[in-house]
Amino acid sequence: MSGPASVKKVCVIGAGTMGAGIAAQVANAGIPVLLLDIVRDPDDRNAVAAGAVAKMLKTDPAPFMSKAAAKLVETGNIEDDLAKIADCDWIVEAIVERLDLKHGLYEKIEAHRRPDAAVSSNTSTIPLGQLIEGRSEGFRSHFLITHFFNPPRYMRLLEIVTGAESDTALVERIADFADRTLGKSVVRAKDTPGFIANRIGTFWIQAALNAAFDLGITVEQADAIAGKPMGVPKTGVFGLVDLVGIDLMPYLQKSLTSTLPADDPYQAIARPAPLIDRMIADGYTGRKGKGGFYRLNRDAGKRKEAIDLSTGDYRPAIKAPSVSGAAGKGDLAALIALPGDAGAYAWAILGATLSYAASLVPEIADDIVGVDTAMKLGYNWKFGPFELIDKIGAAKVAERLAAEGRPVPALLTLAGDRSFYRVENGKRQYLGLDGDYHDVVRPEGVLLLEDIKLSSQPLIKNGSAALWDIGDGVVAFEFTGKMNALDGDVMALIGKAIPLVQEKYKALVVYNEGSNFSAGANLGLALFALNIAAWGEIEKLVAGGQEAYKALKYAPFPVVSAPSGMALGGGCEILLNSDAVQAHAESYIGLVECGVGLIPGWGGCGEMLDRWRQNPALPKGPMPSVAKVFETVSTATVAKSAAEAKEYGFLRPSDGITMNRVRLLSDAKAKALALVEGYAPPAPPEFRLPGAGGKVALELAVEGFQARGLATSYDGVVSGALADVLSGGEKDLIDIVSEADLLALERKAFMQLVRDPRTQARVEQMLVTGKPLRN
Ligand code: NAD
């Protein structure tokens, strides 16, 4: 054994885009990190690294998950502080992409690192063999490439590349740390140019740009075809290039053309693009520059414009017709069969990119699963290349390539008329290079509803929710409605789930695999009810939700909620009513009802009060906690990470945080099982609240905001209703306010607001534009 048992301290050298972001993610995981860069200013020797941290604290989306995380980063410089790397278990090099500089740095690292410490490079293009030239045997066996994607907090992919001399146990430990602690999904890549994701991704971008130029279609048309219909983010390709920086294109092209063999298909499609060169020379490098293929023309009232690919001039943006029918909804066979430019463009991209990907296994990865994972997590594709081939049919792709006189990759021939993936006996399997199917094996501690669904049926379900047996006596409650919106059906299924779990199971986990846990109540439904003045229906939904959530809270078994992505409004209140939460680190939690002119109506007010009054950091007495909840809820605050959600009281200090998305269900299940023995539901809380006097104080604060233009006149009405609930309504300090009293106050305030046309206008605007109306 030649590596540290676990990683307790990390050093990142190079505090640029990647190094700073990697250091932040290490700190997000609660691990101390030393961030070093060169000395640029002799009077302020740590300025580069310290400046990078300061800049990150102002960056949006934030690299840090909390201010506390930022404090775990110690900054320094490579002249004065290299000796400190002796304390570090893992040293990550993320300096400029120059072999000579990397060599020089490794020599210095070698002099200071502990013999058991791992050293890795974040290089995108330099082969491992060249990086370790001239180093000792010990250094070489402790060296690997860890290729993070930008931005390191948000991109889930980590490609790990090892050499023949790499110490396997050490590599396993770093991979495990990256997975569990840093939350990255690790894909093992071979030591080839561009590794997996950039090799295929760069080819795909180039193919898409070329085809748009060749067919003479507009950038809007191109992105409408290459985006959503292919399961690619809706930026498509031109929008993506604007986002990452147009100046990166020639750089990537040069790097790959100079390192790939002459007969690599990329060489044939990499061609000069005078328009792109001109754009870069003129400072049109994309969103970070003066504009890109798209821009907002500030001189023309922020008009959206796009580049005319034939003239290179900007023109007003057009709305390209979206691809309709099955072809627009993921039926790729229909997409490539479309007549005219749409089908031709789709096939130009897919035919080239998918056959290229198929030709690269096993050159770049041992199997197709790694390739698909890399493209999904590194480029945010919904489906990997082999999953895309399956959507068309491997045989059909091969047939069309052959008919066009193009080479058919051996892997496509091997597949024949079979698919690359199949489900056999409830297990997902992939086609191996041996021509046989093999189970897709999940790492230990990874449990996915997606897999459970292959081998079982829901215990019960309706149109908005389903209940699944996830083993060991635990049941998962899944929201299944459009965007996981909450409605009467969700509440009804909670009602049915409780006796079922009580009778046959031990615990319940509220979990789903949507990109957002739930953005709250179904506003569309609410607006419909509003428009027909179905007040009784609305009141029923409010009361029904309160009842369902409290039934969960007082159920005779543990309930653990496990959010990832947005958990807003009613999606947050279900967390507040759970015994415990196991949250994905990337959870965005908040009570946002005031934004649409409402207040939390499913028990959120009382639960938040209960949490804050137990917070030892607040002064004694009822007012501090009331003021805290008022401040958070009246401003519709959303925590931008699970760590931040703890600061706002949406999560308890004891709630768990899972860094890796795919480990969330397993962690939540373990947390629920740990609560089973001796479980007793909580006792209903009783409050002493400040009453009318407290309400006046809160309203005064809002008037102050209004005077400074920070709150609108209707904000005053909405927060007045909230203040009424939080201060206990008619009750006074000497009275006891029960949980039921607070729920009744919530209902009353909610119903009063919902009848106000100004609330209705807010709801309507939110539904139509997704942005709040400030009336
Ligand atoms: P960058 O230019 O933003 O930052 C490089 C940093 O390294 C600078 O702060 C510079 O001062 C510092 N530096 C230069 N020489 C040094 C030395 N001898 N010792 C210490 N510090 C030194 O670069 P980046 O984009 O962060 O890229 C860093 C590495 O990550 C490169 O190897 C790059 O190929 C790779 N990479 C970049 C991306 C990306 O999207 N930018 C993605 C994956 C990998």
Work out the mean pLDDT of the chain and round it to a whole number: 96
Please report the pLDDT score of residue 186 as a whole number: 98
| Amino acid found at 738 | S
Q: pLDDT band for position 766 (50/70/90)?
A: very high
pLDDT at residue 27 is higher than 90: yes
**What number does the ligand 1 atom closest to the CA of 52 have?**
9
Kindly state the tokens that stand for 688. Answer: 């002493």
pLDDT of 2 above 50 = no
Amino acid code (one letter) for 768: V
How many other C-beta atoms are found inside a 10 Å radius of the C-beta of residue 130? 12
Only one residue has tokens 């293929």, namely: 293
Lowest mean pLDDT among 15-24, 523-532, 705-714: 523-532
Q: What is the reported pLDDT for 373?
A: 98
Residue 732: pLDDT band with limits 50, 70, 90: confident
Instruction: Check: CB of residue 386 under 8 Å from CB of residue 368.
Output: yes
Q: Which two tokens stand for residue 578?
A: 């759970």
Alpha-carbon dihedral 670, 675, 681, 687, rounded to 10 degrees: -90
Pairing between β-strand 686-687 and β-strand 737-738 as defined by DSSP bridges: antiparallel
Quick one: which atom of ligand 1 is closest to the CA of 19?
26
Share of the chain above pLDDT 70, in %: 99
In ligand 1, the atom with minimum distance to the C-alpha of 244 is 40
CA 533/CA 753 separation, integer angstroms: 13
Which pLDDT does position 77 carry in this prediction?
A: 98
Strand partners, 306: 294, 315
Say what the pLDDT of residue 38 is.
98
- pLDDT (tens digit per residue) in 535-565: 999 999 999 999 999 999 999 999 999 999 9
pLDDT in tens, 370-405: 999 999 999 999 999 999 999 999 999 999 999 999
* All domains in the chain, ordered by first residue: 10-188 (3.40.50.720), 197-423 (1.10.1040.50), 449-518+554-588+651-682 (3.90.226.10), 592-636+684-775 (no CATH)
Give pLDDT, residue 531: 86
At 319-351, the pLDDT tens digits run 988 888 999 999 999 999 999 999 999 999 999
For the purposes of burial, counting CB atoms within 10 Å of the CB of 515, is it exposed (0-12), middle (13-18) or buried (19 or more)?
exposed
* pLDDT interval class at 447 (50, 70, 90): very high
Cα of 150 to ligand 1 centre, how many Å?
12
The CA 92 to ligand 1 mean position distance, Å, reads 11
Q: Which two tokens stand for residue 500?
A: 């079922």
How far apart (Å, rounded) are the C-alpha atoms in residues 622 and 626? Answer: 6
* Other beta carbons less than 10 A from residue 504's beta carbon: 11
- Which residue owns the Cα nearest ligand 1 atom 20? 37
Q: What are phi and psi of 475, to 5 degrees?
A: -120, 140
- Interval between CA 14 and ligand 1 midpoint (Å): 6
Mean pLDDT of 224-242: 95
CB of 608 shorter than 6 A to ligand 1: no
> pLDDT tens-digit profile of 261-319?
999 999 999 998 899 999 999 999 999 999 999 999 988 888 999 999 999 999 999 99
Cα 665 to ligand 1 centre (Å)? 36
Beta bridge partners of 437: 431
Cα diameter, the chain: 87
Sheet of 427-431, strands arranged across? 421-424, 427-431, 437-439
- Give the pLDDT band of residue 3 (cuts 50, 70, 90): very low
Residue pair 689/726 in contact by the 8 Å Cβ criterion: yes
State percent of the chain over pLDDT 90.
93
Residue 715: C-alpha distances to residues 701, 719, 721, 765 (Å): 12, 6, 10, 16
List beta partners, residue 584. Answer: 658
- CA-closest residue to ligand 1 atom 9: 16
What single DSSP character describes residue 118?
Answer: E
Residue 1, pLDDT score: 39
Q: Which of 13, 96, 157, 243 to mutate to test the pocket of ligand 1 (most atoms within 8 A of CB)?
A: 96
CB distance 397 to 355 below 8 Å: yes
Distances 492 to 452, 460, 465, 488, 499 between C-alpha atoms, Å: 23, 11, 9, 6, 12
How does DSSP classify residue 150? S
Distance CA 321, CA 86 (A): 59
Cα distances from 235 to residues 36, 170, 667, in angstroms, run 35, 39, 34
Whether residue 95 has its Cβ less than 6 Å from ligand 1: yes
Q: Determine if ligand 1 sits within 6 Å of the CB of residue 598.
A: no
664 closest CA partner among 226, 180, 315:
180
The set of residues, in sequence order, having a beta carbon less than 8 Å from that of 224 and lying 6+ positions away, is 236, 320, 321, 322, 323
Q: Is the pLDDT at 697 greater than 60, yes or no?
A: yes
Interval 693-719 mean pLDDT: 93
Question: In angstroms, what CA-CA distances link 214 with 280, 310, 555?
Answer: 21, 10, 64
Ligand 1 binding pocket includes 48 (Cβ within 6 Å):
yes
Residues 6+ apart with CB under 8 A from 513: 448, 449, 450
Query: In this predicted model, what pLDDT tens digit does every residue of 74-85 receive, in sequence order?
Result: 999 999 999 999
Q: Whole-angstrom Cα distance, residue 388 to residue 372? A: 9
pLDDT at 5: 60
Ligand 1 center from residue 754 Cα (angstroms) = 53
Return the HEC string of 168-195. Answer: HHHHHHHHHHHHHHCCCEEEECCCCCCC
Structure tokens at 145: 């490439």
**pTM score, two decimals?**
0.96
Q: Is the CB of 166 under 6 A from ligand 1?
A: no
Q: Please report how many Cα atoms fall inside a 13 Å half-sphere around the Cα of residue 225, on the Cβ side.
A: 26
DSSP 190-245: -SSTTTTHHHHHHHHHHHHHHHHHHHT--HHHHHHHHSGGGTS-TTTTHHHHHHH-
Average pLDDT over residues 511-526: 93
pLDDT of residue 320: 87
Q: What is the pLDDT of residue 533?
A: 87
Q: Where are the beta strands (DSSP E) in 602-664?
A: 656-658
Cβ atoms of residues 735 and 694 within 8 Å:
no
What SS3 state is found at 550?
A: helix
Nearest by Cα to 369 from 445, 441, 476, 447: 441
Q: How far is Cα 709 from Cα 711, in angstroms, rounded to an integer?
A: 6
The answer to whether the CB of 640 falls within 8 A of the CB of 588 is yes
At position 705, the amino acid (one-letter code) is F
Give the whole-angstrom CA distance, residue 465 versus residue 495: 12
Show Cβ contacts of residue 311 under 8 Å, excluding neighbours closer than 6 positions. none
Orientation angle between helical segments 713-726 and 757-769, nearest 10 degrees: 110
